[in-house]
Amino acid sequence: MTAKSPTAPHRVVVTGMGVVSPVGCTVPGFLLALLHGKSGVREVTRFATEGLSTRIAAEVRLEFAELERVELKTAFAIRAARDAMHQASAHGNAPGRDTPRDGKVSMGLGLELFSMDDLAQSRREGFVAPSDLRTRMRFMQTPSDVPVHVLSARYGLARPPSIHVSACAAGTDAIGDAMVAIREGRVRWALAGGSDSMINPLGFAGFCTLDAMTRRNDEPSRASRPFDLTRDGFVLGEGAAVLVLERLDDARARGATVLAEVLGYGRSFDAYAITEPHPQGHGALAAMRRALDDAGILPSDLSAINAHGTSTPKNDPAESAAIRELLGERAMDVPVVSTKSMIGHLISAAGAVEAVAAVACMNEGVIHPTINLHQRDPRCDLDYVENTARNLRQTHVMSCSYGFGGMNAALVLGHADRL
């Protein structure tokens, strides 16, 4: 195990995307909703919330056949992967057809939580192991490694899968990690993304106890308001996104349509505080700088930034400070958006869904708005594309995710026209 001799790295491209979100479960539908500034936030329908401080969330409209046999995280991942593979296979051979054993799954996944329903039933039955496998696997709301094995088996990806549990940064980490594996020649292609749902009794109540979520229950569609002075916490969302990543030369050889290039990935620890980011965003700044270094571009090359933008009192000014420091004199020239203003915070899936948003917008030559931004926090002094989408040609976009507990990740994505 010695140092690797320098070899020409492989360029890594996106050839398929699938998304399950509170505002749409196809990429075109998702993009259209974002461009129209549609909010997916409403009263929670899945369980009773009377008595909780927060009673709204961004739920996915549940219409999936998969839900009959697996729990939400797995069902979302299956649907997103199916659409990503469908798009990647629309022209030419399917990805990995000639190298099926050289693919891997890399997913950011939500934490397991014991399912109160299941635990109550299990307790009532004296904790006897149920005879059927699916019921057994539902215990603890399904161990979080299940989706990667399901996808690996379904699409024959036979390299060891990677499971990322870096909280809100996990989806971005999953894509970045898969990109590096392809670039360095360890795998040929990957299904990479994230899937999460914490809209369950224990997850939801836990965030209420932390007082981290908005209490703007009477106006759900206005509740997620990143960078606005009147923001009061995040809105919990759920969903998934999966991207097909592969070598550029493989994509060209099989005649695939390239959607974007994944150019760089950076990550860092804050090592600061458990409940809040560094007030000047030092960890976020380090992750963004490392992603730019990894991509071999300068801050001045960025066309736009898809921010973490949670709508919490502490994240938004810290993140804005980091971006301002990164961009310097160009700080007001680079649009910064928060997809979470419309779909809420998808936790471990957030980075992957927001990467899909960034690529979809880049390919349309538009940038989606940050909605509900009417009274900007004076500490948030960037161009946030307030409330209305904007035409914008983009060559390089950065997508950022910052996890609870100080884990920070950033991706640099490049327009396919550059290739």
Residues serving a catalytic function are 168, 308, 345
The answer to whether the CB of 283 falls within 8 A of the CB of 273 is no
Please identify, among the stretches 4-12, 21-29, 33-41, 229-237, the one whose residues bind another protein according to the rule CB under 8 A: 4-12
Separation CA 9–CA 180 (nearest Å)? 9
Q: In angstroms, what is the minimal distance from the CB of 35 to another protein?
A: 33
3-class SS of residue 354:
helix
Q: How far apart are the first and last CA of the chain?
A: 34
DSSP 40-104: --EE--SS--TTSS--EEBPPP---GGGGTS-HHHHHHHHHHHHHHHHHTSSSSPTTSS-GGGEE
In whole angstroms, what is the distance from residue 146 CA to residue 72 CA? 11
Instruction: Determine the angle formed by the axes of helices 282-295 and 315-327, rounding to 10 degrees.
Output: 40
Q: What is the DSSP string of 101-124?
A: GGEEEEEEEPPP---HHHHHHHHH
Q: Which is nearer to another protein, 94 or 116 (CB)?
A: 116
Instruction: Tell me the site size for another protein, rule CB under 8 A.
Output: 86
The smaller minimum CB distance to another protein, of residues 36 and 149, is found at 149
Binding to another protein, residues 99-158 (CB under 8 A): 109, 111-114, 116-117, 119-124, 127, 129-130, 133-134, 136-137, 139-140, 143-146, 149-150, 152-154, 156-158
What is the helix (H) or strand (E) element at residue 402, kind and residue range?
A: strand 396-403
**Structural tokens at position 354:** 């927001």
Q: How far is the CB of 240 from another protein (least distance, A)?
A: 17
- Residue from 3, 65, 68, 328 binding another protein (CB under 8 A): 3
DSSP state at residue 332: G
- State which of positions 298-327 bind another protein (CB under 8 A): none
- Binding segment (CB under 8 A) for another protein, from list 33-41, 88-96, 172-180, 317-325: 172-180
The least CB distance from residue 116 to another protein, in Å, is 5
For the bound state, the minimum distance from the C-beta of residue 30 to another protein, rounded and expressed in Å, comes to: 27
Considering only 32, 67, 163, 331, the residue that binds another protein (CB under 8 A) is 163
Q: Is 65 a binder of another protein (CB under 8 A)? A: no
- Identified binder of another protein from the candidate list 15, 39, 74, 310, rule CB under 8 A: 74
Q: Report the site for another protein in 10-39 (rule: CB under 8 A).
A: none
* Residues near 121 by beta carbon (within 8 Å), at least 6 away in sequence: none
Asked if 52 interacts with another protein (CB under 8 A), we say yes
**Least gap, CB of 373 to another protein (angstroms):** 28
Which CA distances in Å does 59 have to 21, 197, 206, 399? 8, 9, 17, 23
Site for another protein in 226-285 (CB under 8 A): 267-274, 283
- Asked if 61 is part of the footprint of another protein (rule: CB under 8 A), the reply reads no
Beta bridge partner(s), residue 103: 189
Which of 35, 58, 407, 416 forms a contact with another protein (CB under 8 A)?
A: 407
